[in-house]
């Protein structure tokens, strides 16, 4: 299975009083590049999240986003210092009597004294938090990989169809190349007859020229290598895993052999085939830029 470097995955769960959401997205990159958006209170989880994600992918500029929201108070306890509250109340009422002020002390008035309350938060169980966050991250990763796989399948199908087209054109080049020496020899023979008029044509010289032409314009090696590269391409695609770099190298080889055929040929029909082959190879190159 081939994976695209473009993907998105999201997962959300409510675990141990925390609403945890993880989002993962990626775009093309030469290597694995990781960045994250994580609340400061959970920054200590970043290395674990990166390691988990790096174990699943090898290429792509990847961003992970984590949000954690406490629900149902999260175990927070708020305690009132009743003795201190009584002292505040007595002081306020004493001030009312001493200064002849209206006694309008209410609960709202008392809440202005922040030292009346003590907020106690439970100690964080880091291992539990880590287990919960990583579990949600794993779900997001699976959704992320599923999208990558779907995109990768489309890329693979497109590449395979283009390889078939190139292979067909290679066959046409081979057919056209078969008669090139005989045709050249005949053209050369006719020209020499015209130039020499009544004199006989030197058959040995004619054969020598034909042999030189055949050596200069032979594309057998190039077409054999092209077929070999196409076969390797298919084997790599069917093998699965990270294949983008291997395919990039093979694409260069496809282009190299095609260029060599183009430089050797003097046949307009073959030249047109070379142009079409190069166009297909370029489209393949664009597609493999998206493959992990």
Q: What is the CATH number of the domain that holds 134?
A: 3.30.230.70
Identify the CA nearest to 159 among candidates 31, 247, 241: 247
Judge whether 204 lies within some domain. Answer: yes
Judge whether 268 lies within some domain. Answer: yes
Q: Are residues 139 and 248 in the same domain?
A: no
Judge whether 1 lies within some domain. Answer: no
Q: Provide the token pair at 45.
A: 């989880």
Burial 190-215 (b: 16+ CB within 10 A, else e): eebeeeeeeeeeeeeeeeebbeebee
Predicted model pTM:
0.68
- Answer yes or no: is pLDDT of 206 > 90: no
pLDDT category at 222 given cuts 50, 70, 90 is confident
Q: Are residues 201 and 283 in the same domain?
A: yes
| Domains in the chain, number | 3
Q: Are residues 181 and 269 in the same domain?
A: yes
pLDDT > 70 in the chain, percent: 83
The boundaries of the domain holding residue 84 are 77-120
Q: Are residues 27 and 48 in the same domain?
A: yes
Judge whether 97 lies within some domain. Answer: yes
Q: Are residues 168 and 270 in the same domain?
A: yes
Q: Are residues 207 and 140 in the same domain?
A: no
pLDDT category at 188 given cuts 50, 70, 90 is very low
Q: Are residues 130 and 199 in the same domain?
A: no
* pLDDT digits 0-9 by tens, 69-91: 987 655 667 888 999 989 988 98
Identify the CA nearest to 140 among candidates 49, 210, 268: 49
Q: Are residues 101 and 231 in the same domain?
A: no
- Answer yes or no: is pLDDT of 250 > 50: yes
Q: Are residues 194 and 65 in the same domain?
A: no
Where on the phi/psi map is residue 122: left (φ > 0), alpha (ψ -120 to 50), or beta? beta
- Contact between 251 and 240 under an 8 Å Cβ cutoff? The reply is no
Q: Which residue has the tokens 């174990």?
A: 55
Q: Are residues 179 and 232 in the same domain?
A: yes
Q: Are residues 201 and 277 in the same domain?
A: yes
Q: Are residues 116 and 94 in the same domain?
A: yes
Please state the rounded mean pLDDT for residues 192-200.
51
- Answer yes or no: is pLDDT of 199 > 70: no
CA dist 86 and 88 (Å) reads 5
Please state the rounded mean pLDDT for residues 216-230.
82
Judge whether 200 lies within some domain. Answer: yes
Judge whether 12 lies within some domain. Answer: yes
Helix/strand/coil for 117: strand
Judge whether 2 lies within some domain. Answer: no
């Amino acid at each position: 299975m081939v994976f695209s470097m473009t993907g998105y995955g999201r997962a959300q769960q409510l675990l141990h009083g925390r609403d945890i959401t993880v989002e993962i997205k990626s775009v093309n990159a030469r290597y694995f590049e990781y960045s994250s958006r994580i609340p400061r209170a959970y920054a200590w989880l970043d290395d674990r999240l990166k390691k988990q994600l790096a174990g699943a992918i090898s290429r792509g500029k990847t961003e992970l986003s984590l949000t954690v929201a406490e629900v149902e108070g999260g175990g927070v306890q708020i305690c009132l210092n009743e003795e201190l509250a009584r002292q505040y109340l007595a002081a306020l009422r004493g001030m009312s009597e001493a200064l002849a002020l209206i006694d309008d002390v209410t609960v709202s008035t008392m809440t202005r004294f922040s030292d009346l309350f003590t907020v106690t938060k439970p100690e964080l169980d880091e291992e539990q938090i880590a287990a919960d966050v990583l579990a949600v991250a794993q779900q997001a990763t699976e959704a992320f990989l599923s999208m990558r796989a779907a995109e990768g399948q489309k890329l693979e199908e497109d590449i395979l169809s283009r390889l078939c087209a190139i292979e067909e054109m290679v066959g046409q080049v081979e057919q056209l190349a078969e008669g090139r020496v005989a045709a050249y020899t005949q053209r050369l023979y006719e020209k020499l007859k015209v130039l020499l008029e009544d004199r006989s044509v030197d058959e040995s010289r004619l054969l020598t020229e034909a042999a030189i032409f055949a050596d200069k314009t032979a594309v057998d090696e190039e077409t054999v290598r092209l077929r070999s590269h196409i076969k390797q391409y298919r084997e790599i695609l069917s093998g699965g895993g990270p294949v983008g770099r291997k395919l990039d190298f093979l694409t260069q080889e496809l282009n190299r052999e095609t260029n060599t055929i183009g430089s050797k040929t003097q046949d307009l029909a073959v030249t047109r085939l070379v142009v079409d082959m190069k166009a297909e190879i370029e489209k393949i190159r664009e597609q493999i830029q998206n493959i992990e």
